[in-house]
Amino acid sequence: MISKERITALIDERIQELNKDLYIVDMTISPSNVIRVELDRMEGYVAVEDCMSVSRNIEHNLDREQNDFELHVSSAGLDKPLRHDNQYLKNIGKRVKVKLNDSSKIEGELISFGLDKIQLKDRVKKKVEGRKKKEWVEEFYNINRKEIKETKIVISFK
């Protein structure tokens, strides 16, 4: 079986050469040597050329005669949950949906990220004391990271 350390070293080697603030979001190697790598970038997007470059570096440094393998290198994708601290940092200011361990959901703008909690802000209509109509108010949510099952970016076509 191909070692995870060897693949990580090959990826890191190419990431350093590219010098584009790329990082590994997820990497798995199945027992049948199917290698899946997901990359992201601190700013902007991961280009197809970046994925190809990382893929080639892995392929050229592994011997198929010794270990046959299948390789998939891709960007993290907007439809997938955030899985790396850098993804949270990159998406501060964007609207996210947080699914908690108790199956409840909170949606709002990600305004801060820390080691143990995140903070969201949302505008909601609420009955304000002393007023007849509901009014728009800003609501803040402090969420312990241990309570988070998944966080996804809300994709809007506005």
Give the model's confidence band at 129: pLDDT under 50 very low, under 70 low, under 90 confident, else very high: confident
**Same domain flag for 16 and 69:** yes
Average pLDDT over residues 133-157: 94
Phi, psi at residue 66, to the nearest 5°? -80, -45
pLDDT higher than threshold 80 for residue 1: no
pLDDT higher than threshold 80 for residue 153: yes
**Same domain flag for 9 and 71:** yes
Number of domains in the chain: 2
Using the 3D structure, point to which of 49, 75, 101 is the last residue of a domain: 75
CATH of the domain at 61: 3.30.300
**Same domain flag for 95 and 67:** no
Percent of residues in the chain assigned helix, strand, coil, to nearest 5 = 25, 40, 35
What span, in angstroms and rounded, lies between the C-alpha atoms of 37 and 57?
13
pTM of the full structure: 0.86
158, part of any domain = no
Contacts of 1 (CB under 8 A, 6+ apart): 29, 31, 33, 67
What span, in angstroms and rounded, lies between the C-alpha atoms of 88 and 153?
10
Work out the mean pLDDT of the chain and round it to a whole number: 94
Domain housing 43: 4-75
**Same domain flag for 147 and 99:** yes
